[in-house]
Amino acid sequence: QKEVEQDPGPLSVPEGAIVSLNCTYSNSAFQYFMWYRQYSRKGPELLMYTYSSGNKEDGRFTAQVDKSSKYISLFIRDSQPSDSATYLCAMRANSGGSNYKLTFGKGTLLTVNP
């Protein structure tokens, strides 16, 4: 079983739709959860950052973490064509020392059609 599983899509939705992106993971030590947005030929951009379980909202974006199910989600409300990108989930354990490694999903390609 892979540490992080993310549906690669592609996912195509009409403008204004609610988008749900998801990742599952197997390592119960993961405590920090991130979502990145990556436009074509650009580096990933940090969208959302959460610690442990719960919800976090920022504008049209909501991140949810369910540690009991080992499942994280990113919701995009009122999706716009400018949201068309690849979305990567990432997570990290709460370990000390020099272990700063993130584990990434492979990304979901989203297209929002005008």
Partner 1 sequence: SQTIHQWPATLVQPVGSPLSLECTVEGTSNPNLYWYRQAAGRGLQLLFYSVGIGQISSEVPQNLSASRPQDRQFILSSKKLLLSDSGFYLCAFNQAGVGSPLHFGNGTRLTVT
> What is the binding site for partner 1 (CB under 8 A)?
8, 32, 34, 36, 41-46, 49, 51, 88, 90, 92, 94-96, 98-102, 104-107
Strand 108-113 vs strand 11-14: parallel, antiparallel, or unpaired? Answer: parallel
Supply the minimum distance, in Å, between the C-beta of residue 47 and partner 1.
10
Q: Which of 87, 111, 91 has its CA nearest to residue 100? A: 91
The residue among 43 and 59 lying less far from partner 1, judged by its C-beta, is 43
Amino acid at 41: R
Supply the minimum distance, in Å, between the C-beta of residue 82 and partner 1.
17
Supply the minimum distance, in Å, between the C-beta of residue 17 and partner 1.
26
